Amino acid sequence: MYKHLFFDMDQTIAPARQPMLDHMHELLLGLPHDIVIVSGQEVSKIGIQSKNLPSYTLGQNGNHATDVDNNELWNIPLDQHHKEEILAHIEKIVGILDHDLNHDWKPIEDRGAQITFSPIGNIAPSEIKHVYDPDRKKRAHLLEQIPFESEELVVKFGGSTSFDYIHKKRHKGTNVEKLINQLGWDKEACIYFGDGLFPGGNDEDVIGVIETVLVADHHDTYEKLRVLFQR
């Protein structure tokens, strides 16, 4: 039934900002399906995390796309005035944090088509990131205090600690659909796995585009893939 498998990266097929585990890589490498990785990360970093798994890559929530041979399909960065709007909102959030930013842990990353802000730091040690905001309540409370109101932009919860700022009309849902249309695939033959398929999550916009499967983490994804494709 399925020919094209779409995956989020962090906490779906790999630990957050870490390489996928060997058994996941082996499983995906052995499947006959097209593999598409859709992530807020940059394309180059997706390649590192996926251990160069042959795949279509939709980086920065799909705003930078490459094919299996790493040929660029499209790349649509944010405009400068968008970036200024985002940075102004981040500055307001920083002003109400109960801790200082650790700039060595890169709290703000401008990825071109997306700006990602992690109050604890995008490259903070995994054991610190794991306990910082596991239920997303801390980030939700920050947005309740400092809402992000924009005509053209939106912010999503990304990874385990981040805010992902992207264009409202250029998110995972629109870019997944764009790739499917460009390649002439049948939507009924596509399925998406993600841990952010909840209101405000960075996989939410894929709901309604193709079939979706909510996973708890990369371990859960592995087990679900085994059930579906390795009976």
| Residue 45 pLDDT greater than 60, yes or no | yes
pLDDT band at 17 (very low <50, low <70, confident <90, very high): confident
State whether 159 and 180 are in the same domain.
Answer: no
Q: What is the reported pLDDT for 28?
A: 97
Show which of 125, 147, 167 is a domain's final residue. Answer: 167
State whether 161 and 190 are in the same domain.
Answer: no
Spatial CA neighbour of 114 closest among 59, 152, 65: 59
Which two structure tokens, joined as six digits, stand for 50? 């996926």
Show which of 113, 133, 167 is a domain's final residue. Answer: 167
The enclosing domain of 88 has a CATH number of 3.30.1240.20
State whether 60 and 106 are in the same domain.
Answer: no
Which two structure tokens, joined as six digits, stand for 73? 């399909």
State the average pLDDT over residues 111-136.
94
State whether 98 and 158 are in the same domain.
Answer: yes
pLDDT band at 231 (very low <50, low <70, confident <90, very high): low
pLDDT band at 6 (very low <50, low <70, confident <90, very high): very high
Q: What is the reported pLDDT for 221?
A: 98
State the average pLDDT over residues 176-205.
96
Helices (H), 95-215: 126-132, 137-145, 172-183
State whether 155 and 85 are in the same domain.
Answer: yes
Helix (H, G, I), strand (E, B) or coil at 51: coil
Number of domains in the chain: 2
Q: What is the reported pLDDT for 159?
A: 84
State whether 161 and 182 are in the same domain.
Answer: no
Q: How far is CA 115 from CA 11, 72, 80, 87, 173, in A?
A: 20, 21, 12, 9, 18
pTM: 0.86
| Residue 48 pLDDT greater than 80, yes or no | yes
Looking at every residue in the chain, the average pLDDT score rounds to: 95
* Residue 52 CB burial class (10 angstroms; 0-12, 13-18, ≥19): exposed
DSSP string covering 90-128: HHHHHTT-SS---GGG-SEEE-SS-EEE-TT-TTS-HHH
Q: What is the reported pLDDT for 230?
A: 74
Q: In terms of residue numbers, what domain contains 86? A: 80-167
State whether 28 and 93 are in the same domain.
Answer: no
* One-letter amino acid of 4: H
The enclosing domain of 209 has a CATH number of 3.40.50.1000
What is the percentage of the chain residues whose pLDDT exceeds 90? 94
State whether 90 and 142 are in the same domain.
Answer: yes
Do 89 and 148 contact (CB within 8 A), yes or no? yes
Spatial CA neighbour of 112 closest among 67, 71, 170, 27: 170
Do 224 and 191 contact (CB within 8 A), yes or no? no
State whether 104 and 211 are in the same domain.
Answer: no
State whether 43 and 122 are in the same domain.
Answer: no
Distance CA 174, CA 63 (A): 9
Per-residue model confidence as pLDDT tens digits over 54-110: 999 999 999 999 999 999 999 999 999 999 999 999 999 999 999 999 999 999 999
Show which of 167, 184, 212 is a domain's final residue. Answer: 167
State the average pLDDT over residues 1-12.
96
Which two structure tokens, joined as six digits, stand for 66? 């490459």
Per-residue model confidence as pLDDT tens digits over 148-166: 999 999 999 988 899 999 9
Distance CA 27, CA 145 (A): 43
Q: What is the reported pLDDT for 200?
A: 87
Q: What is the reported pLDDT for 196?
A: 93
Which two structure tokens, joined as six digits, stand for 31? 């499947």
